[in-house]
């Protein structure tokens, strides 16, 4: 069982997608994201396997949730700095998590 302290170590923030591009070099279909988390964190990069439900045009301006305090991972030469969060649909394809209403970038989930 995880403790509340375990949960609190994850820094999950809201940010707005400022740029999205196809990630042709990835082994599995993916999209490169540049997400703005506001002044304290700034813009961070993420690779996400979102191609079933999202295209790059639909992602621009969308607010998403991401874990911002995990170590970066290099994916096919691209540095993914945050883990963009989603849940699987009935076929296992990613559906993004987001706030119901617009909120300030950088807000921490609690």
Look at domain 10-96 and name its CATH class: mainly beta
**What pLDDT, on a 0 to 100 scale, did the predictor assign at position 4?**
95
What pLDDT score was predicted for residue 30?
96
Report the distance separating Cα 97 and Cα 80, nearest Å. Answer: 18
Per-residue pLDDT at 102: 96
Where the chain has pLDDT below 50, the residues are none
**Distance of CA 91 to CAs 40, 64, 95, Å?**
37, 21, 11
Domain residue ranges in the chain = 10-96
**How far does the chain reach from its first CA to its final CA, in angstroms?**
19
pLDDT at 69: 98
| pTM of the predicted structure, to 2 decimals | 0.95
Instruction: Work out the number of other CB atoms within 10 angstroms of the CB of residue 70.
Output: 13
């Amino acid at each position: 069982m995880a403790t509340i302290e375990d949960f609190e170590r994850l820094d999950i923030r809201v940010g707005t997608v400022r740029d999205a591009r196809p990630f042709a070099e990835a082994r599995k279909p993916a999209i490169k994201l540049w997400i703005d988390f506001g002044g304290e964190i700034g813009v961070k990069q993420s690779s996400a396997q979102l191609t079933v439900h999202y295209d790059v045009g639909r992602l621009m301006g969308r607010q998403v949730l991401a874990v911002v305090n995990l170590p970066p991972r290099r994916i096919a030469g691209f540095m993914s700095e945050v883990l963009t969060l989603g849940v699987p649909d009935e076929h296992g394809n990613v559906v993004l998590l987001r706030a119901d209403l617009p909120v300030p970038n950088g807000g921490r989930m609690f």
